[in-house]
Structure 1
Amino acid sequence: MKIIFLGDIVGRPGRELVKTLLPELIQQYAPDLTVANGENAAGGFGLTLEVADELFHSGVDVITLGNHTWKHREIDQVLDRYKQVLRPANYPPETPGESAGLFVAKNGYPVGVLSLMGQVYLEPTLDCPFRVAKEQISLLKEKTPYVLVDFHAEATSEKIALAHYLDGLVSAVVGTHTHVATADERILPGGTGYITDVGMCGPTDSVLGVKKELAIQKFITKRPVKFEIAKGPVELNGVYLELDEQGRTKRIDRINYRKNLK
């Protein structure tokens, strides 16, 4: 089983880069499933129907979300129309949308994908991601040995701890949210692939995809600032995973590209 996972897609520049580069990546790696975090895809915050359509037409098979899930009211329509758009599983059970799913890969086998969000420095009122993960994974593993977890979290300690907690139970735990790709990709002793943060698909000359002068202004003045997506060169960050028949990771490689879009 081969999987590509793309980090947080940020605004139009990130979407344009995915539209440009993903077909090349698919040709190069021949993934059976392509997953991307899309919680920043619509103007830098949230997801809309139009943007979801665009990402699916670009070659993305499954979209995971995070702390900006509810930015647009339209998200309820997105979640209702697309079962392949997943909001974090540790929201209350009454929350609209799917948080985990089985998706048929190009090779015909089902792959489980689970979206989770961290509590530390992010959403402390959500349910415990460790407990929710175990519950959801047990259901997915009844159907498939292949399970991928997107852990959208701020604290590196929380991400690493969850990965060790799930080692041997899932194929991979990939971290999102910080928009900065880490260089710690590895295969844990139980066969679970891991990286603390996949990074982002968005403007390089920026602060996490936002115009740097606006981010600096916010830090200096301590006042609210309306963020805008930066322009200029863009980067695509992701990971490529190869899984064996038991669902264990046998290869995990970072994917990093930079490009000037006209």
Structure 2
Amino acid sequence: MRILFLGDVVGNLGVEMVSKYLPILKRDYKPQVTIVNGENSTSFGRGINKKVYKQIMSAGTDVITLGNHAWNNEEIFDFIDDTKKLVRPLNYPGKDVPGSGYTIINVNNKKLAVVNLQGRIFIDPIDDPFQKIDELISEIKKEADAIFVDFHAETTSEKKAMGMYLDGQISAIVGTHTHVQTNDDQILKNGTAFISDVGMCGPFDSVLGMKYENIIHRFITQRPTRFEVEEKGRGIVSGCVIDLRDDGTARSIEKILIDPNHPYKG
């Protein structure tokens, strides 16, 4: 099974980059499953709405994952319960949380569970992701042939710890949220594919997708500054491709990076 994953889609330019490059990447890499993190995909860079959801899906996405900004756009409550293709963090607290923290899809007579988790270090308070994923694996391990986890977290240490904790229990764990692609893509010793962060899809000439002038002003003055999504200029697409064996272990993981310094050569 081949999985194509694209990192946090940021703003209108991020949606444009996914709409442009995802069909090309699917043509060249021929994945059986395509997953995209859409938690920053609205025009103001927080949450997702139905229009953007449809745009990302129509580009060729099978599942959209979210993160700590899942509830920043109230429109999500109107449609998240009606689709199995949009998953929010599994470890959101409460008994009646809208939507689901995972979905299971059929892939060439195999079943792939796509799970969204959120970290707790330097991020909003939330239930223990280690406990929640333990409970879920016990529940679905007999049903799913492979398990893919998007771990939306701030620190490399928490992401790597989760990777080592789940090594051999799941097929792949990819990090999102920091918007900067890391260089630690690897197959862990028990067969789980891992990368701390796949990066983002959005404005290249920015600070993590935001207008850099505002960010610089805040650093220099230490005064509150409104963060605004950069909507113009050059774009970036970041992600990875993961190949799984029939037994669900990972054979390989390859980073994808398309930007002005790394033009696509496919």
Q: Which residue of 2 aligns with 1:2?
A: 2
Partners in 1 of 2:129 and 2:69 — Cα distance?
17
Supply the AA of the counterpart residue of 1:17: M
Q: Which residue of 2 aligns with 1:72?
A: 73
Given that 2:110 and 2:145 are in contact with CA atoms closer than 8 Å, whether structure 1 keeps it comes out as no
Given that 1:100 and 1:136 are in contact with CA atoms closer than 8 Å, whether structure 2 keeps it comes out as no
Supply the AA of the counterpart residue of 1:23: P
Q: Which residue of 1 aligns with 2:96?
A: 94
Secondary structure of the 1:91 match is coil
Supply the AA of the counterpart residue of 1:155: T
User: Residues 78 and 224 (structure 1 numbering): CA distance in 2 closer, same or farther, change over 3 Å?
Assistant: farther
1:226: how far off? 2.3
Given that 1:204 and 1:232 are in contact with CA atoms closer than 8 Å, whether structure 2 keeps it comes out as yes
Partners in 2 of 1:157 and 1:245 — Cα distance?
30
Q: Which residue of 2 aligns with 1:238?
A: 239
Structure 2: 5+ residue stretches without partners: none
Supply the AA of the counterpart residue of 1:118: G
Supply the AA of the counterpart residue of 2:81: D
Q: Which residue of 1 aligns with 2:211?
A: 211
Partners in 1 of 2:42 and 2:86 — Cα distance?
14
Partners in 2 of 1:207 and 1:96 — Cα distance?
31
Given that 1:78 and 1:85 are in contact with CA atoms closer than 8 Å, whether structure 2 keeps it comes out as no
Partners in 2 of 1:160 and 1:215 — Cα distance?
28
Partners in 2 of 1:90 and 1:41 — Cα distance?
21
TM-score by length of 2: 0.94
Q: Which residue of 2 aligns with 1:198?
A: 198
Q: Which residue of 2 aligns with 1:220?
A: 220
Supply the AA of the counterpart residue of 1:239: C
Partners in 1 of 2:79 and 2:60 — Cα distance?
18
Secondary structure of the 1:74 match is helix
Partners in 1 of 2:86 and 2:220 — Cα distance?
37
Given that 1:102 and 1:140 are in contact with CA atoms closer than 8 Å, whether structure 2 keeps it comes out as no
Supply the AA of the counterpart residue of 1:86: V
Structure 1: 5+ residue stretches without partners: none
1:134: how far off? 1.0
Q: How does 1:1-262 map to 2 (within 5 A)?
A: 1-43=1-43, 44-92=45-93, 93-105=95-107, 107-123=108-124, 125-230=125-230, 231-258=232-259
Amino-acid identity (%): 45
TM-score by length of 1: 0.95
Deviations 1:56-75 (A, max 9, x none): 00111101100111111111
Secondary structure of the 2:132 match is helix
Partners in 1 of 2:12 and 2:117 — Cα distance?
25
Supply the AA of the counterpart residue of 1:212: Y
Deviations 1:93-117 (A, max 9, x none): 3211111110123x24221011000
Given that 1:118 and 1:151 are in contact with CA atoms closer than 8 Å, whether structure 2 keeps it comes out as yes
